[in-house]
Amino acid sequence: MRPQALELLLTRAQQVTAMPNFETLLCRLFDVTLRPDADVPIAPVTYGLDHGETPQGYCLRADPVHAAADRDVLRMLDPRTLAIAPPEAQALVATLNAHFAQDGLQFAAPQPQRWYLDLPTDPALRTHPLADAIGASMHDYLPFGTHGKRWQGILNEIQMVLHEHPVNLARGARGELTINSVWFWGGGQTPPVAQKCWAQVWSDDVVALGLAKLSGVPRTGAPESARAWLNAAVTPGEHLLVLPGESRVELAGMDAAWFAPLLAALKKRVLQRLTLHLVSGAGYSVDTAALKRWWIRRRELAQFLSAPV
């Protein structure tokens, strides 16, 4: 079944400025100024949500992952498959802290799947987002920058420390994937964020929720459908709604649950404008007047439907 409502919204929309990735897009939506020579500072944004307070200095994500041997390369598997228990995370982090105590590295695991390093100064390090490296050769996505080699060495040392850890031996005995590496990414200091730039944020995404916390914007979990959201979104102003990632084979279901009700709300002028952003960074904006346009941009439509929403 074709996603007819989504197709109509797209063919009536104007394309807005594209962003290189999802994290950059979210930061731009909160007016965060990003440096071209630095990481997108995801770590301090999510740190504030996980710890309840913002970090005082430079913060780096050090997320637990599994690196699987594939012929002559190591490939990072999707860490969401690890199902790490809190006691496991705490035991692994305690071992890393003991091992790296003389180096002044202090790991923390406020959430089992999100680990952090607090650093007193900028480590002159560049990294790749975790999502970019999943399924790829880890060698192609190693830390780089002025001190990149040093951090590559730290990463190798971490892998050796974790290899024979009792937590991993127990996981292996149960047939579970081991936690045999970490992924450094998203480092930086807490960025200035536009205050109260949205009426409300609706999302289960930790980056969006962390930015909302910094911005002082009310935040709520993502609703089940557009109708549920339209009934609950009573605060006047612009709302930011982050949908769960879906594949294109599920577009028909999303069309019924989301895009058809949103199209109807536009037609009835319940909504004045709707801007759709893809996880790829592309964006399309449509308002009530634009629905009267009759021309169709088939190339843009094909591009939209070939990417996750």
DSSP alpha helix (H) spans, 164-250: 166-173, 206-215, 226-232
Q: Is 168's pLDDT higher than 90? A: yes
Rounded to 10°, the helix 298-305/4-11 angle is 130
- Please give the average per-residue pLDDT across 254-278, as a whole number: 91
- pTM of the predicted model as reported, rounded to 2 decimal places: 0.88
Is the pLDDT score of 246 beyond 60?
no
Residue 297 confidence (pLDDT) above 70: no
Each residue of 211-220: pLDDT tens digit? 999 999 999 9
pLDDT digits (tens, 9 = 90+) for 179-229: 999 999 999 999 999 999 999 999 999 999 999 999 999 999 999 999 999
| Single-letter residue type at 273 | R
pLDDT digits (tens, 9 = 90+) for 50-98: 998 888 889 999 999 999 988 888 899 999 899 999 999 999 999 999 9
Which letter, b or e, does each residue of 105-115 get, where b requires 16 or more Cβ atoms within 10 Å of its Cβ? Answer: bebbbebbebb
More confident residue, 8 or 157: 157
The per-residue pLDDT of the chain, averaged, comes to 88
Confidence label for 175 from pLDDT (cuts 50, 70 and 90): very high
pLDDT in tens, 11-44: 888 888 888 888 899 999 999 999 888 999 999 9
3-state secondary structure (DSSP) of residue 126: strand
Question: Where does residue 183 fall: left (phi above 0), alpha (psi -120 to 50 degrees), or beta otherwise?
Answer: beta
